[in-house]
Amino acid sequence: MHAATTDLQVGLIGYGLAGSVFHAPLIAAAQGLALGTVVTSNPERQQEVRAAYGPGVRTAAHPDELFARADALDLVVIASPNRTHVPLARQALEAGLPVVVDKPLAATAAEADELAGLADARGLLLSVFQNRRWDNDFRTVRALLDDGALGEVLRFESRYERWRPQLKGGWRESGDPAEVGGLLYDLGSHLVDQALTLFGPAVSVYAEADVRRAGAAADDDTFVALTHRNGVRSHLWMSATAAQLGPRFRVLGSSSAYVKHGLDPQEAALRAGARPGDGEAVWGAEPESAWGTLGALDETERVRTLPGDYPAYYAGIAAALRDGAAPPVTAREAAAALRVLEAARTSAAEGRTVSLASS
């Protein structure tokens, strides 16, 4: 670890969607962190890195070039395709480096647990980038639950739906199990993590996973139902074939309900080149017209949506590395979500509800 007066040097592996839109901008904006090296074999992406972050940021064509300079790094962030997450995370931990891995951490809970054990044995941080815990609408739901505004929550409905009738191609739509593609592990990683974060462990899982689009090889229209240990039921939808989108959240309680449409604005802002701290506007804020409603039947009121806060994730990582604070997301939490995703895959394949061992 370098002196506390200097920024922690971060090596980023991968500069596709995850690396370029989410990780690089948030790392660069985080106090106490510095984007030191970006690994991408694509010459055009290497030029994009230099144009966006200046000549002070190194580029490398292969992860081995990064690990050859392990003593110059304080953190490795893995934002490469899913199939590379486990081997690269293991290589980083064995090189003595703390690691952040984009979701999903692994294809199986057993692999996630193995990595968590390795990190524990080495005394190293291993965290998973579950940025959707800092979505504006999710933060608002958490606040409403904390305030008791809904009474006893009975059912939690959550959706990530898109209208993409034509395939985009790439590993995310691959049917090869090694690629860990499909919506269950892509969008489902977020939906399950959010449900477990709000309501705790699941004791049973039921799922339906379909391949709807012509030429598709991986699930593109999937539903997962969880029963939590505390009795709450979570119904989670993920789809690329929704020509009209349902509410992002519908949370039904014993005294009222909360309904919210639309998506958190942070991804769109990052894609457009905006950065946290730029300008005078509040990062992650949305207009009143996008706020959700709270109440029952015709007696509802608009509820201000809390600003989204993706920067909080890497602020938490910096605090964990500097001060020994708890990481914002743990590998064990990721393993718990993967156990649910594995159960959902089994449920959909076998047409039955899967029970999870109590822990």
Question: What's the CATH number where 319 sits?
Answer: 3.40.50.720
Banded pLDDT at 156 (limits 50, 70, 90): very high
Residue 282, number of CB atoms within 10 A of its CB: 9
| Short-list 136, 140, 157, 158, CA closest to 149 | 140
* Residue pLDDT, tens place only, 87-104: 999 999 999 999 999 999
Q: What is the mean pLDDT of residues 318-336?
A: 97
Q: Are residues 265 and 318 in the same domain?
A: no
154 shares a domain with 34: no
Q: Sort residue 148 into left (φ over 0), alpha (ψ -120 to 50) or beta.
A: left
Q: What pLDDT band is residue 2 in, cutting at 50, 70 and 90?
A: low
Edge-first strand listing for the sheet containing 75-78: 58-60, 33-39, 8-13, 75-78, 99-102, 126-129
CA-based nearest residue to 122, from 81, 70, 60:
70
Residue 123 pLDDT exceeds 50: yes
Per-residue confidence at 357, pLDDT binned at 50, 70, 90? confident
Residues 237, 142 share a domain: yes
Number of structural domains (the chain) is 2
2 belongs to a structural domain: no
Question: Which residue stretches of 164-254 are H helix?
Answer: 183-199
Please state the rounded mean pLDDT for residues 244-267: 97
State whether 161 and 281 are in the same domain: yes
Inform me whether the pLDDT recorded for 352 exceeds 50: yes
User: Are both 124 and 165 inside the same structural domain?
Assistant: no
Q: How confident is the model over 170-179, as a mean pLDDT? A: 74
Q: How far apart are CA 355 and CA 340, in angstroms?
A: 10
The per-residue pLDDT for 174 is: 76
The pLDDT value recorded for residue 225 is 98
Confidence of residue 178 (pLDDT cuts 50, 70, 90): confident
**Considering the chain, what is the average pLDDT of its residues?**
95
DSSP for 119-177, please give it. HHHHT--EEEE-GGGG-HHHHHHHHHHHHTTTSSEEEEEEEEE-B--S---SGGG---G
Contact at 8 Å (CB) between 82 and 185?
yes
Percent of the chain at pLDDT above 90? Answer: 89
Which among 225, 173, 172 is positioned nearest to 199, based on CA atoms? 225
> Does residue 1 belong to any structural domain of this protein?
no
Residue 20 lies in a domain: yes
Beta bridge partners of 253: 153
At residue 154 the predicted structure's pLDDT band, cuts being 50, 70 and 90, is very high
Q: Are residues 293 and 169 in the same domain?
A: yes
User: Residues 304, 191: one domain?
Assistant: yes
Using CB atoms within 10 Å of the CB of residue 55, give its burial: 0 to 12 exposed, 13 to 18 middle, 19+ buried: exposed
Residue 334 lies in a domain: no
Q: Give yes or no for a contact between 85 and 185, defined as CB atoms under 8 angstroms apart.
A: no
Residues 175 and 204 in one domain: yes
Helix (H, G, I), strand (E, B) or coil at 70: helix
What pLDDT, on a 0 to 100 scale, did the predictor assign at position 133? 98
Predicted confidence at residue 3, as pLDDT, reads 45
Q: Which range, of 114-123, 193-202, 216-225, 289-298, averages the lowest pLDDT?
A: 216-225
Strand 354-355, strand 202-210: pairing: antiparallel
In a domain, 177, yes or no: yes
Q: Which residues contact 349 (CB under 8 A, 6 or more apart)?
A: 209
pTM of the model: 0.94
Residues 121 and 152 placed together within one structural domain of the fold: no
Query: 330: burial class by Cβ within 10 Å (0-12, 13-18, 19+)?
Result: middle
Residues 183 and 301 both lie in one domain: yes
Q: Domain for residue 138, yes or no?
A: yes
Per-residue pLDDT at 273 exceeds 60: yes
The CA–CA distances, whole Å, from 192 to 53, 132, 189, 205, 237 equal 34, 11, 6, 11, 10
For 76, the 3-state DSSP assignment is strand
What is the average per-residue pLDDT within 294-300?
A: 96
The number of residues in the chain equals: 359
Contact, 94 vs 117, CB < 8 A?
no
Residue 112 lies in a domain: yes
Q: How far apart are CA 268 and CA 219, in angstroms?
A: 25
Domain span including residue 292: 132-309+339-355
Q: Is residue 332 part of a domain?
A: no
Burial class (CB in 10 A: 0-12, 13-18, 19+), 214: exposed
Rounded (10°) angle between helices 183-199 and 136-147:
20
**What local confidence, expressed as pLDDT, does residue 167 receive?**
87
pLDDT at 147 over 70: yes
Looking up residue 242, the CATH number of its domain turns out to be 3.30.360.10
Q: How many CB atoms lie within 10 A of CB 53?
A: 18
| Range 270-286 average pLDDT | 90
Q: Are residues 115 and 211 in the same domain?
A: no
Judgement on whether residues 234 and 321 belong to the same structural domain of the protein: no
